[in-house]
Structure 1
Amino acid sequence: MFPNPVRHITFDALEPYKIAEFWSAVTGFPIHPDDEKDDDEILLDPDRPGVPGLLFIRVPDAKAVKNRVHLDIQPPTGTRDETVERLIGVGARLVDDRRREDGSGWVVLADPEGNELCIERSTAERGQG
C-alpha cells in the first residue's frame, strides 16, 4: 500500500487568513502556528499522517466561475442539517438544497469567497455509526 501522495489541497484566496478561519470551522483543522493574519499563504494543518492540509494562497482576482473540484463534507458528529446551520452561521451561503424527503441527499454551500462544498449526511444518519 502506498502512502497518500497528496500533501495539500490548495485554494486561491483574496483573504487567505479569513478563508482559512472558515475552513478551520468546517474541518476542525487548526491554522498552522507559524501563520499570521497578513501572510500570503495560510495552512490548515491536520497534523495526522496521510491527511492532506488545506493551503490558502493569496491571489489578486476573485473566483469567477463554478469550481471544477470541491470538497464533500461528512460531519463526524451531529447531523447534516446541524452542520449546514453551523456553517451558514460562520459565513457560508446556501447554493443548492438537494435534501430529499426520505432524509437522503446533500446541501451545496459556498464559503465566503464562493468556493462550493457539499454537506452530506453524517455516519450516524447513514446508519453506519
Structure 2
Amino acid sequence: MTSRIIAIAVDCRDAEALARFWCQALGYPSTRRWTDAYGREYVEAGAPGATSLVFQPVDDRKSGKNRLHLDIAPSSGSRDEEVQRLLALGARRLGDDPKVPWVVLADPDGNEFCVLPERGADDGTAP
C-alpha cells in the first residue's frame, strides 16, 4: 500500500483572498469551503486531475522561509510573461538569479514559490 497527495495545505491569514489568487494563477475553476469543529473556515481550490490547494486560516503571520514551496510553469508563453501576469495578480518578486532558470515570487500572504520555464508534460528535467 502507498499514499497519494490529495491536497497541499497552505497556512494563511485570509483563506478566501489567497484561494482567489491561486485560482487565478493556476486556472482552477472552483473552490469549496468547510468549517471545522473550532469554527475555522477552510477554502479548497481545485481542478479535475490536479492536486488541490487547501487554505487554512491561522492567526500568526508567516515568519522565515517556507520548508515546502510550489514550483509552477506556464502552460503556454514564456516564464517572464508568466511572472508579469502573477505580479499583476498580487505576487511579489523575491529573487531573480540569472544563473538559474526560475524566478522566486511570494503570493499575497508571503508564501514563496518559483516560476520556471514552460515544460512538456513528459519533461523529466529537474530545476
Query: TM-score, normalized by length of structure 1?
Result: 0.80
- How many residues align structurally? 117
SS in 2 for 1:18: helix
Aligned counterparts, 1:1-129, within 5 A: 5-32=4-31, 34-35=32-33, 40-48=41-49, 51-100=50-99, 105-123=101-119
TM-score scaled to structure 2, two decimals?
A: 0.82
- Mind listing any 5+ residue stretches in structure 2 that lack a counterpart? 35-39
CA RMSD of aligned residues (A): 2.4
Alignment check: 8 A CA contact 2:103 2:116 kept: yes
Structure with the higher strand share, 1 or 2: 2
Contact 1:21-1:31 within 8 A present in 2 as well: no
- 1:92–1:111 Cα contact (<8 Å) kept: yes
Counterpart of 2:46, as a letter, is D
Does the 8 Å contact 2:91/2:108 carry over to 1?
yes
Q: Which runs of 5+ in 1 are unaligned?
A: none
Shift of 1:15: 0.2
